[in-house]
Amino acid sequence: MQSLCLASPPAASSSVERVTSRGGQRSTNPEWSKWSHARILFCLSLLYTLHSPATYSSAGPACVLFGLPSPSLSLLFLQFVLAHRVHEHLSSTSLPARHASHMPSLLSRFAGRFPAHTGPYSVGTVDIELPISSLPQPFATPCPDAEVTTILFRLFYPCVEPDTSAKTPAATWIPSPQDGHIREFGKFLGLSESLANLFV
């Protein structure tokens, strides 16, 4: 997929220029025009990819459109622009959004962001998983499911404000392994093709 995309940049950049200049309608609000162009391009590429899975896997139309070296970066770029609208919505309805992770990624500043907590303490979080064989089990019966061999939980607690040089990456909302979780959740949800773009 990568090598095919690298072959396309020269044509791609000119197509980008053509599209944006044809995009036409001069709005006095630069935010609006950036949003509308991105949205149109994104929806077109989305329809194209979803209806042509073979093409998507071989040519990566998003990267063709934007001339970026990988489909991942192309999608990131689209989401960066598209998600600006999500950010606006969040900040208009909540307390000022303050992201608590150590190293907010570029995307995390604009989409899928948690608002501030209501209480005065900073909050820490840690994942704990212990084998059930290491714990007392003073219950009438063992676990009804014999396959359950560990107990897994996440603690949230008032914490000491960490120094900014902390090296551990912030925990992600989707636990690892991420691709496994996302795939199963997608199956579970049954998202429609037309509504999937609301997620992104």
Partner 1 sequence: MDTSNLLAVQITDARRFSHFPHLLSHIKLAAHSNAKPLPPDPAQGSQWPAVIFSHGLAGNRTTYSHICSSMASHGLVVAAPEHRDGSCPVTYLSPTTTTPAGPCKKLYTKISHTPSNAVYRARDEQLRVRTWELGLLIEALAKIDDGSASGNLRSPKETPTDAVSWFRGLIDIRTPGKVTFAGHSFGAATTLQLVKTVYWSARSHPQLPISPVTPTSITDNKREQTTLFQPSAGAAISAIITATTPTILLDMWTLPLRSPFTSDLAALPMPHFAPDNSNGGAPILAVMSSAFAAWKDNFEGLKSVLADPYEHIPYSAPLKHPALAALLLQNDAASATDSGYESETASAQSVPAPSVEPPIVRPRAKAHIFYPLRSAHLSQSDYGVLFPTLTRYVAKGADPNRTIRLNVRATMEILRRSGIPVQGVKGKGNEDPTILSSQKDTPRGWVCVDVEDKIQAPDTAKTGGDSVVDKVVDQVAPKELQDVAEYGGKT
Q: Cα separation of 106 and 50, whole Å?
A: 26
Residue 84 near partner 1 by CB under 8 A: no
Residue 75 near partner 1 by CB under 8 A: yes
Q: Cα separation of 170 and 8, whole Å?
A: 36
Between residue 14 and residue 43, which ones bind partner 1 under the rule CB under 8 A? none
Residue closer to partner 1, measured from CB, 14 or 57 = 57
Binding mask 163-192 for partner 1 (x = CB under 8 A): ---x-xxxxxxxxxxxxxxxxxxxxxxxxx
Shortest distance (Å) from residue 15 CB to partner 1 = 22
Q: Cα separation of 91 and 85, whole Å?
A: 10
Between residue 117 and residue 146, which ones bind partner 1 under the rule CB under 8 A? 117-141, 143-145
Q: Cα separation of 42 and 62, whole Å?
A: 8
Shortest distance (Å) from residue 59 CB to partner 1 = 14
Between residue 88 and residue 117, which ones bind partner 1 under the rule CB under 8 A? 89-90, 93-95, 99-102, 104-105, 107-108, 111-115, 117
The number of angstroms, rounded, from the C-alpha of 75 to the middle of its chain's C-alpha atoms is 10
Instruction: Spell out the residues 6+ positions from residue 13 whose beta carbon is closer than 8 angstroms to its own.
Output: 67
